Chains A and B, each alone.
Chain A
Amino acid sequence: MEEKNKSIGKAITRIDGLLKVTGKATYATDYPAKNMAYAVLFKSTIASGQITAIDSAAAEKSPGVLKVITHKNTPKLNIKGGLRGGALLQGSEIHFYGQHIGIVVAETFEQATHAARLVQVSYEEKAGKIDFDELAKDAVKPKGQELADQIRGDAKKALGEAAVKVEETYETPIEHHHPMEPHSTIAVWEGENVILYNGSQIINGAQSSAAATLNLKPENVRIVSPYIGGGFGSKGGQWANLVLTAVAAKVTGRPVKLALTRQQMFNSVGLRQRNIQKVSLGATKEGKLISISHETTTHSAIDSEYIEPCGDCTKIMYDAPNSLISYRVVPMNVILPTYTRGPGKSTGSFALESAMDELAHKLGIDPIELRIKNEPEKDPSNGKPWSSRKTVQCLQEGAKAFGWEKRNAIPGQTKAGNYLIGYGVACGTYPARQRDSSAIIKLKRSGSQVTATIELAASDLGTGTNTILAQVAADGLDLPIGNITVNIGDSDLPPAAGSVGSVGAASFANAVNDACIKITNELIAKSDKQFFVRPTARQMMISEQTLDFQTRADAKAPSNTDQYSTHSFNANFAEVKVNIATGMVKVTRFLAATGAGKILNPKTARSQIIGGNIWGIGMALSEESIIDPRYGNFATRSFGDYHVPSNLDVGKLDAMFINEEDFIPNKLGIKGIGEVGIVGVAAAIANAVFNATGKRIRSLPITPDKLL
C-alpha cells in the first residue's frame, strides 16, 4: 500500500491558476455565441410609486435596436420561482430606487446603452420609506420564526444585579459585495431548452430558480458556471438579471449577453443592510459573565424579508446563564438585503467583541483572559456538546505568535513618532455544515498511466475548489494530482451543494471521497482475485487491465451532526498605528488564528482567510454606502466613493491554523473556512484603535473624522 494523504494537506498551487492568469479561464461572458445580441438594463429613478407611462418609441428607432422590453410586453413569469429581489418586469409598481424597469436589446452593447437612455419613463411617486434613522424606532418583530426572541433566564434582571456592566450600541453601515466579476449572463435558447452561462454559487439552485421563474422544468434549463469571479453571497441566490437575459433571448430569438455595470451592481444584487446593535453584558467583578443581550434593529426590503442574524455569535460564544437575542426590522424601499460574507457573524461580532473589550477594560482584565474565563464547555444556546472548539488555543497560540505580551493594557500610551500604536483581539465563529452532494468519477487507463475525471455540479468562487477536489481525488484514487481533471460548474453534472455558508469544501470533497471509495470497491468486487491488503483504484485499473471504468456516489450529510454543535472558531489579532494629528489609521499587522478542522490546502486556505481579513479591514476602516433619503439612491455609487481597501491600507497579514481533528461535521474532518475569515476582524481593529487612542468607535467605518 502506498503512502497515504500525499496530496491532501499540501500547499498546492491552484490547478487552474495558469488558465486564469493567461485569460483562458472562461467566465460567464467569455462564451462565444453566434449572432450574439446585447442587452442593457434600465432602472427606476424613484424609490416608491408606480410607472404611469413608458415611451420607448425613440429607443426602438435607434440604430441597431432589436427590442425594448418593459413590464408591458414581458412574458408572464413566476415571481415566486425563487429568484431574489423581485424586479422581474411583471408590473408597474416600484419598490426601490434602481429597480429594473426594462431592457434594451441591440446589435451592440453601445447601441443598447445609447437607446436605454432614450426611453422616457413617467412615474406617480409615493412617499417612500427610506430614512432608516427616522424609521428605526418603529421597527417590528421579523416574520421569520428563526429570528424570534431567544430568551434564556432573565437577562435584564441579571444585568441589573451585575457588578460590572457594558450597555452600548454599535452601528454598521450598508456594504456591497462587489465581486470583481459583475453579475453577467449569456442566454442561448435551443428549442424549449435554454443554456445560461452565469456565475452561480449554487449551480442547482440557479437552475431550479431560473426554471421555476421561466415556468419551465429544471431539465429545460442548463447552468454553465465553471469559473466565478467572486460572489461573497451575491451570487448565491440568483437575481432578476439571470432570467431577464433568458427572456431577452427568447423575445429576440438571438443569444443575448447581459452584464451589469459596476454602477448597476450597487442596487441590483442585494447588499449587507445597516444594523443598530445594542449589546448588554453583565459580569461579576471577577469577570464571569452573568448576562448577555444582543438586540439588533435593521431594515429589509418593502415586500420581502431578509435579516442577517447578528446575534448568532452571541448565542454560542460565551457562557452566561441569562441571555436575550432579539431582532427588530423596518421594511424599507431599498433593494432586498442578502447573504453577505459571514452574514450576521461579521457584523454581530463587531458589536459583541467590541463590548467584550469594553468589559475587559472596565474590569481591568486582559481581554484574552476574559474570554477564556467565559469559555463555555457546551453550546450555551442548546446544551449540546461541541464537536470541537479551539477558541482557547486560537487565543493562546495566536497571542504568542503575535507578540500580545507587548501590548500595554492602558490605552493611548504606546507612541512611535507621530503615531499611537495599539493591539486588539476579537474572536469569531461560523457554523461547520455539510450538504448532500453527488459526484461521478471516470477512470481511464493507457498502458500504466491512469487518469481520472471528476464530475459534479460544484462551484468555484475563485477560492480553489477545483484544486482541493483534485487533491481529494488524487489521494482517494492513488494518482498524482496532474492525472486528475475536475469538471464542475455545470447543471448537467451530478447535483451538488453550493459555495455558500462555508459548506462547499466539506460537501464537495465528501462526495468526491465517497466516489473514490466506491469506485475502488467496485473495481475490487469486479475482480476474481483476493487481496490481503486493500489495493488502490490505480492498482486495480492496471492489474485488471481495465481501460475505462466509472461510478457515481450520492453522498449524504452526516446523520449524527444534530447531536453536536459544530462550528469553526478563530481569534483575530490586529496592530494599528493611528496618526496622532490626523486620525488616519493603518492596520500594520493582522493575524487570524483559526481552528477549522482539516485544512486541505494551506495555500488556498491562507488566501481564503486573508481575503476575509482584507474585507474586514475595509469594513472596519473605509466601506460605507450612504442612501440619500430624499431620493432613495446611493450617494456613493462608484469605487471612487465606495472605498474597498487598497494595498496601502493592508499591512502584514498572517493566517495560522490550529491543528484540529473533528470528524463529526464531516468524514474528512473539514469544517469550512469561507466565512470565518471575516468574522471578528472589524472588532479586533476597533479594539486596537481603542488601545492606541483611548477612543472607542462604535460606528463603522472608523474614518479619520471619528478620531479627531
Chain B
Amino acid sequence: MNDFNYTRVYSMDEALANVSLGKGHRVIAGGTNLIDLMKYFITTADELVDINPISEHQTIEELPDGRLRLGAFATNADTAYHPLVESRYPLLNRAILAGASAQIRNMATNGGNLLQRTRCYYFYDINTPCNKREPGTGCSAINGYNRTMAIMGTSEHCIAVFPSDMCVALAALDAVVNIVGPEGTRQLPFADFHRLPGNTPHIDNNLMDNELISSIDLPEKGFSSSYSYLKLRDRNSYAFALVSVATALDLEHGLIKEARIALGGLAHKPWRVQEAEDFLKGKQASKTNFEAAADLILQGAKSFEFNAFKIELAKRAIVRNCMMALDPDTQQPGAQPSL
C-alpha cells in the first residue's frame, strides 16, 4: 500500500469538492473492496476521502409517491433487513444475502456495491497484462484461465464479469441511481449505470470521477408474490457467482403479465434481455415458456476455452429460478443456500 492522506468529510459538498480534485482522491465508504485493491497495488490513492461521517443518505426511506429510496451510505445488511425491503422487495433481500459474508455485508454500503470492481484473476495480478487495470496492455483472460469469465457483452479487450449479487436484483427491479455532481443532481436508469467493456474496459460505469452516488430508488412495484434469486457457485457460501438469476413475475390467472429476468456472473454488468421478457408477456408461466425465454436470453452468448459450460448452466438456472418464483414455498425473505 502506498502512503496516502486520509480526510474525513462531513457533507456532500465537502465530499464533492474533494473528489473534483482528481483521480488521486478516492472515496472510501465500507472499504470492503477498496482496501484489498489498495493492498494489492491495483488502486492507489493520494488522498482517501472518508464519507462515513456524512449524515445524509444513510437511511432507507419511503417517498411520498411510494418509491423506496436506498441511501447510498446505508449498509448492505441494513438494506437487506429493512422491513420494507423484506416485505415489498424480498428479491433484493435475497440477492443481498446471497453475496459476500455477514461481516462484509455489515460494512459494505449500497453505493459501494454498485462501484465494486471485477474479481477477474488477472485484474488482481499486477504482474499480468490487463486492459481494465492498465489500458492497452492486453487481456490475459481471453486466452487464459477464463472459467469464471463473461459470455455476454464481451469485447476483444475484456471478458471480466461484474461480481455483485445486489445489483442483479436492482436491475430486475428497474432501480434508478441518483447521482450528485458539481452541476447538481442527475438520475440514471439502472440499466444505463454499468457499462460494457468495449474499447474502454477500464471504465466500469457511467459515474463521472467528480460525482457521487447519493441513493438508489426502487419503483413501488416490488414483485413480492412471485420472485426468486438463484446463485450457482463453486461453494455454497462466500463465493462469487458462476451464474446468478433474479426473477420477478407479475402473474394474473396463471398468465404472465410482466416478467423480469436479470443475470449475474455472465457479463460486465447485470444482464437483461428485453426480447425474452417481451416473449413471456401474456404467456403461461410454464417450464416450456421459460426454456424458450432462456434460449432467447443466451442466444448471443460467446464462450471461451474454459467457460462454455456457463451457457447451459445459465439456461438451467433461468428455468429453475423461474419455476422457483412460482413456488410459494421458496418465497421467504432471508438467506437461502444457493443449492
Contacts and interface: CB of A to CB of B under 8 A. Distances in A.
A582 B124 contact: no
Contact of A630 (B3, B144, B147, B310): B144
Contact of A633 (B125, B230, B239): B125
Contacts of B144: 628, 630, 635
Interface string A107-118: 000100110010
Contact of B232 (A582, A622, A647): A582
B240 interface: yes
B234 A708 contact: no
B237 A646 contact: yes
B236 A635 contact: no
A584 interface: yes
Interface in B301-339: 309-310, 312-313, 316-317, 319-320, 337-339
Given A584-B339, A640-B119, A640-B239, A704 B124 contact: no
Contact of A648 (B41, B309, B337): B337
Contacts of A117: 41
Contact of B121 (A583, A636, A647): A636
B6 interface: no
Nearest to B148: A641
B121 A643 contact: no
Interface string A620-640: 011000101011010111101
> Which secondary structure characterizes the binding site on chain B?
loop
B320 A581 contact: yes
A634 to B, nearest CB: 9
A636 B316 CA distance: 26
Interface string B225-257: 000001010111111101000000000000000
A633 B127 contact: yes
B145 interface: yes
Given A581-B320, A584-B339, A646 B312 contact: no
Given A586-B339, A637-B125, A641-B121, A648 B237 contact: yes
Given A582-B317, A635-B145, A643-B239, A704 B125 contact: no
Contacts of A630: 140, 143-144
A703 interface: yes
B194 to A, nearest CB: 21
A146 interface: no
A581 B339 contact: no
A621 B3 CA distance: 41
Given A628-B144, A640-B240, A646-B237, A584 B232 contact: yes
A171 to B, nearest CB: 15
Interface residues of A, number: 37
A649 interface: yes
Interface in A588-636: 621-622, 626, 628, 630-631, 633, 635-636
A646 B232 contact: no
Given A584-B338, A584-B339, A631-B128, A704 B232 contact: yes
Interface string A636-679: 11101101011111000000000000000000000000000000
Residue among A582, A630, A638 with the most chain B CB within 10 A?
A582
Contacts of B208: none
A628 B125 CA distance: 12
Contacts of B128: 628, 631, 633
Contacts of A577: 339
Contacts of A502: none
Contact of B236 (A649, A701, A703): A649
A649 B309 contact: no
Contacts of A586: 236, 337, 339
Given A582-B317, A633-B125, A637-B121, A114 B3 contact: yes
A405 interface: no
Contacts of A640: 119, 239-240
A579 interface: yes
Nearest to A649: B236
A133 interface: no
Contacts of B125: 631, 633, 635, 637
A649 B238 CA distance: 11
Interface string A138-165: 0000000000000000000000000000
B63 interface: no
B2 interface: yes
A688 to B, nearest CB: 15
Contact of A113 (B1, B124, B239, B317): B1
Interface string B144-170: 110100000000000000000000000
The 6 A-B pairs with the shortest beta carbon distances in the complex, nearest first, are: A705-B309, A648-B236, A581-B320, A646-B237, A648-B237, A643-B235
16 contacts: A45-B127, A114-B2, A581-B317, A582-B230, A582-B232, A586-B236, A586-B339, A622-B234, A635-B144, A646-B235, A646-B239, A647-B237, A648-B235, A701-B234, A705-B147, A705-B242
Given A633-B127, A647-B237, A649-B236, 11 more contacts: A577-B339, A581-B317, A582-B232, A583-B313, A584-B236, A628-B128, A640-B119, A643-B235, A645-B235, A648-B235, A705-B309
